């Protein structure tokens, strides 16, 4: 190949390379142009408005009759009679349950009880009655004999006044012993007969015929359901938020709600739950739509203020807690600025903090976790 051909080939190759490079540069995507970062949208709250919070506490409440009686077994034995069901009306003094023994006594005693305790009391009463009858008869015979002696001087003086007085005392003692035996029997019967002290409706029955019952066991609950109250429990740290006369909102699953007023607060905590019983009554009892025995939700509005005028109360979601420091962000113009704070106390979802934050500062609320110190922010309108 001569020099002329070599030159032509070299020029052609260079031209082809130039064309390819030009085409490649046009087809290659351009580097993305970095767009400026948009300001983070935030909401603000004035520091001077962060001295107090209003929040609502929710509690589960039991709706019970204003006048309610729990019937407790006073003796142990087997339930042999239980005539009522839940919802039944019971008159004051009505028999709710009969508790007998299932022991060795196959025959019922005079009061239709197989209980050895009852039958022993019956026997004691019978013996006391016999002793009283004998003492009365003996006294009467002596008294009659003494009176005849006094009326007829011809009769021998076989009975003295002292004997008559002694027989009278023995008769009086026998009468007292009979009365005591009778009271003892009645008490034993009462222990085995569980009666209702009030008129009302049965809201719970915990014993059926044939069940064994222990002394102290709850048998049933009788409630006067026309007058109701709401019972709920609060913890020790919530106790300061409730007070007599405070109004609360009560609602149920059906969407019904009404206002109730707190009237009773237990002075001591429950031994097991360590919580305090609170009772509230409908503000208008005649219009209450709640039924005894149901469950309701109590909403209690409370207000908390700072313990120091220089402090602030903020949601925990606004505060960033680190190993070395805790801080919030305030708006400095249109930029976020970190403000170091000290957490004083935590109450639910809020915390009281102390920090060098002027009262006219604007604390970043929503969006506080999305910004960095010095970053531009935009306030939501």
Which residues are 322's β-sheet partners? Answer: none
Check residue 54 and give its pLDDT.
Answer: 82
Q: Over range 255-259, report the average pLDDT.
A: 88
Do 230 and 250 meet the contact criterion of CB atoms below 8 Å apart? yes
Looking at residue 287, its pLDDT comes to 77
pLDDT at 305: 86
Is 266 in contact with 277 (CB distance < 8 Å)? yes
* Phi, psi at 17, each rounded to 5°: -65, -40
What digits encode the pLDDT tens for the residues 262-276?
A: 999 999 999 889 999
Split into its structural domains, the chain has a count of 3
Residues 240, 196: one domain? Answer: no
- DSSP string covering 116-150: HHHHHHHHHHHHHHHHHHHHHHHHHHHHHHHHHHH
300 and 322 within one domain: no
- Do both 110 and 168 map to the same domain? yes
Residues 74 and 201 in one domain: yes
Q: Is residue 114 part of a domain?
A: yes
Give the pLDDT band (50/70/90) at residue 56.
confident
* Contact between residue 74 and residue 191 where contact means Cβ atoms under 8 Å apart: yes
Q: What is the mean pLDDT of residues 70-85?
A: 91
**225 falls in which pLDDT band (50, 70, 90)?**
low
* pLDDT at residue number 300: 86
Q: Give the model's confidence band at 22: pLDDT under 50 very low, under 70 low, under 90 confident, else very high.
A: low
d(CA 24, CA 38): 35
Cβ neighbours, 10 Å, residue 83: 12
Lowest-pLDDT range of 102-106, 125-129, 287-291: 102-106
**Has residue 111 got a pLDDT over 90?**
no
pLDDT of residue 138: 95
134 plus 198 within the same structural domain: yes
The neighbour count for residue 351, using CB atoms within 10 Å, is 21
Most confident of 19-23, 262-266, 344-348: 262-266
- Pairing of β 247-251 and β 257-265: antiparallel
More confident residue, 297 or 111: 297
8 A C-beta contact, residue 313 and residue 52: yes
User: What local confidence, expressed as pLDDT, does residue 16 receive?
Assistant: 61
Query: Is position 10 within any domain?
Result: no
Domain carrying residue 274: 59-65+225-304
Global pTM reads: 0.49
Tell me the sheet residues that pair with 314. 351
Whether residue 165 is found in the same domain as residue 81:
yes
Residue 10 is classified by DSSP as: H
Confidence of residue 8 (pLDDT cuts 50, 70, 90): low
Average pLDDT for 338-355: 90
In a domain, 24, yes or no: no
137-146, 218-227, 266-275: lowest mean pLDDT where? 218-227
Residue 234 falls within a domain, yes or no?
yes
Residue 19: pLDDT over 70:
no
Residue 95 and residue 159 in one domain: yes
Task: Give the domain CATH number at 286.
Answer: 2.40.30.170
Residue 136 belongs to some domain of the structure: yes
* Section 193-203 average pLDDT: 87
Residue 34 pLDDT grade (very low, low, confident, very high; cuts 50, 70, 90): low
Average pLDDT, the chain: 86
252 has pLDDT over 90: no
Percent of the chain with pLDDT over 90: 52
Considering 46-55, 153-162, 176-185, the range whose residues carry the highest mean pLDDT is: 176-185
Answer yes or no: do 73 and 172 share one domain: yes
Mean pLDDT for the stretch of residues 39-45:
91
Q: What is the mean pLDDT of residues 275-282?
A: 94
**The pLDDT value given to residue 105:** 55
Q: Do the beta carbons of residue 47 and residue 358 sit within 8 Å?
A: yes
**Whether residue 170 is found in the same domain as residue 293:** no
- Determine the Cα–Cα distance for residues 62 and 298; give it in Å rounded to an integer: 10
């Amino acid at each position: 190949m001569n020099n002329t051909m070599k030159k032509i080939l070299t020029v052609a190759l260079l031209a082809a390379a130039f064309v390819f490079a030009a085409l490649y540069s046009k087809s290659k995507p351009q580097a993305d142009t970095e767009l400026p970062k948009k300001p983070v949208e935030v909401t603000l709250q004035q520091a001077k408005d962060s001295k107090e919070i209003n929040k609502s506490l929710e509690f589960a409440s039991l709706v019970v009759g204003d006048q309610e009686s729990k019937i407790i077994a006073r003796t142990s034995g087997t339930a042999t009679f239980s005539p009522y069901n839940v919802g039944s009306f019971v008159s004051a003094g009505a028999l709710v349950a009969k508790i007998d023994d299932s022991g060795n006594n196959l025959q019922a005693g005079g009061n239709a009880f197989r209980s050895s305790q009852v039958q022993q009391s019956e026997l004691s009463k019978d013996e006391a009655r016999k002793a009283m009858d004998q003492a009365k008869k003996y006294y009467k015979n002596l008294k009659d004999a003494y009176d005849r002696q006094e009326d007829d001087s011809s009769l021998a003086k076989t009975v003295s006044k002292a004997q008559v007085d002694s027989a009278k005392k023995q008769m009086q003692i026998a009468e007292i012993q009979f009365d005591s035996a009778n009271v003892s029997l009645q008490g034993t019967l009462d222990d085995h007969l569980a009666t209702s002290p009030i008129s009302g409706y049965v809201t719970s029955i915990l014993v059926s015929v044939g069940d064994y019952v222990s002394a102290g066991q709850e048998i049933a609950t009788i409630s006067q359901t026309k007058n109701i109250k709401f019972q709920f429990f609060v913890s020790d740290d919530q106790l300061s938020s409730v007070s007599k006369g405070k109004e609360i909102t009560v609602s149920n699953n059906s969407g019904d709600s009404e206002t109730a007023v707190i009237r009773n607060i237990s002075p001591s905590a429950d031994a097991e739950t360590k919580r305090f019983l609170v009772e509230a009554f409908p503000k208008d009892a005649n219009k209450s739509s709640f039924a005894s025995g149901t469950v309701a939700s109590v909403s209690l509005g409370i207000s908390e203020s700072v313990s120091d005028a220089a402090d602030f109360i903020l949601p925990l979601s606004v505060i960033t807690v680190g190993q070395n420091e805790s801080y919030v962000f305030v708006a400095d113009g249109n930029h976020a600025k970190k403000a170091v704070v000290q957490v004083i106390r935590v109450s639910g979802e809020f915390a009281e903090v102390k920090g060098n934050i002027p009262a006219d500062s604007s604390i970043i609320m929503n969006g506080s976790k999305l910004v960095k110190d010095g970053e531009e922010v935009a306030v939501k309108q």
